[in-house]
Structure 1
Amino acid sequence: MRSGAGLPLYWRVCLINGLVFVVGTLALALAPITVSATVLVSEAVVLLLGLVGIVVLNAALLRTSLAPLDRLSRLMETVDLQRPGRRLPESGSGAVGQLVRGFNAMIERLETERGTSNAKALAAQEAERHRIARELHDEIGQGLTAVLLGLRQLSTRVPADVRRDLLEVQETARSTLDEVRGVARRLRPGVLEDLGLHSALAALTTEFSAHGLKVQRTSTPGLPDLGLERELVVYRVAQEALTNVARHAEARTVRLALQRQGSAVVLAVDDDGQGLRGAAEGTGINGMRERALLIGAQLVVGVGELGGTSVRLTVPLEPAR
């Protein structure tokens, strides 16, 4: 068996079956057993035992040879590039061993290429967010500000019966300007770059609280600096988690916590909503997983302490390579 490890799989199976048949033939030829013209019960028992022994021996040898293929098949059915790191043990130098090593190398290459492409895509996405936020602030925001100033000056020169309608238009323009500024802040969290992660999360929770969601925020003071890239991932995951709660969870209360646990910083978002209820993960959760992979973090989505959905992002303090 060891000498045939380098043979193709087809010839290895033929060799195993041939070896079993040779052993069975030699056993029948050398054993002091005869078969009468009319097979006796004792002879039938001996033949049956010999047949069972041959089948068991053949099955054991084939299982030893083909077991890596079974493991490879099960791994291929469950492999998920969003949960990297799963590999088959590489052993042997035959065709099966080469197949296992080739599969592991393929998964390694796919994970690397996927990570690289996702990093470029997310970087382009952030750049586009910044561009749109800047245009909203500089162009649309300034244009609406000019409209407000013009309406204010115009309200002093119009008759009283028209002034009321003009004030309503002015209030609509003011609320539109506030909405534009809010969209710009969500697209580009300038407070994250200027004041840090704690202030950015505080502003984020305040924004969602203003829309009727009760947000309880806790954080550990004195957390180590994660760097802008990892802090941006933490902020985006918190933003997406709160957005999902506001849109789908039908929750009244949500808890957001940022704490240090050992050699990692953990972001936890729990709500008291209706939960996932067995639904498949959508694009929002998949996007959070993609961001977590970029910095070597781990994202876990499940049932939380409040009975709704729980989102846990564990960010190692050592930056990912």
Structure 2
Amino acid sequence: MGVATDMRDRRRAAKLVTEGPCDRGEEGENTHVSLFWRIFSLNAAGLVVAAALLLGPVTVSTPIRQAEALVVLVGLALLLVANALVLRVGLAPLKRLGRAMSTADLLRPGARADVAGPAEAAELITTYNTMLDRLEAERAAGAGRALSAQERERHRIARELHDEVGQTLTAVLLQLKRVADRAPEGLREEVAQAQEATRAGLDEIRFIARRLRPGVLEELGLASALRSLAGEFSAHGLTVRHHVPGGLPPLTEESELVLYRVAQEGLTNTARHAAAAHAEVRLQQIDGGVELLVRDNGRGLGEATEGAGIRGMRERALLIGAELTLAGAPGGGTDVRLRVGGRR
């Protein structure tokens, strides 16, 4: 359905450009002057003036005199300059539309081309803006369905890791303990190593399950979940400070999950790519909304292209109508800001 509508919009825009003004009574009056009539009126005015001059004071002799040739050449130059000005003014909106189309990004919604210029150009820009509105809405809806399915799959995998793999490793750990109690002195060290490896694997399974399904978010809320997240990354070599005060405005479950996932992805990117020693997670109320800040002291954004992690954060922000910005941090590093609600 969306594809068919886009095709109709494109055919309609192409028809407006190629055929000039059509019957516009059904859509009401339009204050824009058609590009066709602009060029036609200028050419007609030039031809009328030229005919009047030729019928009046200006004549052409045979052979052509120098003064007569000069008058004709000056008139031709003026006509060409006037045509060039009209075309430049008339086509300027189409150039702006081309720049807007080349820089459009569905992950950064809101930017629209200004509706201006002749009737055909204004109608074409309006059609493009309408199509962009629909594409952004469809992209947000599709991203919402995909992210919901992703969260359900995360929950399923986390449950299986916890219930199946986790319980199996716990049973193995208990069996190893019984073996260690009965093993001869020469084998106890090897059994102890097997116990430590199994215990480390069990801890890793639990860590992965917590990342896939943040149970603390569901049970204790966003503030506790962010503090726990900072503690998890601090335990794995990255010093993370957190500032999550109480008294924040209430948020929907969907908004809390997006804030948590963006903080999680921001810290993951910091740990993997930023070569940072310190990071900060801050959640605060601002302008009637809530802003999440994830800051690190790493190498910064540089010229690197946005990867799947950042695109995922942008899609999550679109899901709840939030604003995501990435910029350099004071003194070096990266700031990831997500603003939910409030004035922007």
TM over 0.5: yes
Shift of 1:47: 3.9
Shift of 1:264: 1.7
Deviates more, 1:47-56 or 1:150-159: 47-56
Determine the structure 2 residue equivalent to 1:259.
Answer: 284
Question: What CA distance in whole angstroms lies between the structure 2 residues aligned with 1:100 and 1:225?
Answer: 40
Structure 1 gap segments, 5+ residues each: none
Matched, 1:33 2:58: yes
Matched, 1:316 2:341: yes
Shift of 1:57: 1.9
SS at match of 2:315: helix
Determine the structure 1 residue equivalent to 2:131.
Answer: 106
Matched, 1:157 2:182: yes
1:20–1:54: 8 Å Cα contact kept in structure 2?
Answer: no
Deviations 1:154-184 (A, max 9, x none): 2111211111111110111011000000000
Determine the structure 1 residue equivalent to 2:323.
Answer: 298
Shift of 1:32: 2.3
1:249–1:274: 8 Å Cα contact kept in structure 2?
Answer: yes
Alignment map for 1:32-181 (pairs within 5 Å):
32-34=57-59, 37=63, 39-40=65-66, 46-90=71-115, 94-181=119-206
Question: What CA distance in whole angstroms lies between the structure 1 residues aligned with 2:123 and 2:301?
Answer: 42
Shift of 1:317: 5.0
Cα 1:220–1:52 shift into 2, 3 Å: farther
Question: What CA distance in whole angstroms lies between the structure 2 residues aligned with 1:210 and 1:61?
Answer: 68
2:158–2:209: 8 Å Cα contact kept in structure 1?
Answer: yes
Determine the structure 2 residue equivalent to 1:182.
Answer: 207
Q: TM-score, normalised by structure 2?
A: 0.84
Shift of 1:11: 5.7
Residue number among 244, 247, 260 corresponding to 2:269 in the alignment: 244
Question: What CA distance in whole angstroms lies between the structure 1 residues aligned with 2:125 and 2:287?
Answer: 36
Question: What CA distance in whole angstroms lies between the structure 2 residues aligned with 1:237 and 1:171?
Answer: 33
Deviates more, 1:126-135 or 1:153-162: 153-162
In angstroms, what is the RMSD of aligned CA positions?
Answer: 2.5
Cα 1:14–1:212 shift into 2, 3 Å: same
Matched, 1:228 2:244: no
1:24–1:54: 8 Å Cα contact kept in structure 2?
Answer: no
Deviates more, 1:289-298 or 1:7-16: 7-16
What percentage of residue pairs aligned between the two structures are identical?
51
Shift of 1:310: 1.2
Q: Which amino acid aligns with 1:6?
A: C
Cα 1:7–1:18 shift into 2, 3 Å: farther
Determine the structure 1 residue equivalent to 2:3.
Answer: none
Shift of 1:270: 1.4
Question: What CA distance in whole angstroms lies between the structure 2 residues aligned with 1:57 and 1:270?
Answer: 56
SS at match of 1:103: helix
Shift of 1:69: 1.8
1:7–1:94: 8 Å Cα contact kept in structure 2?
Answer: no
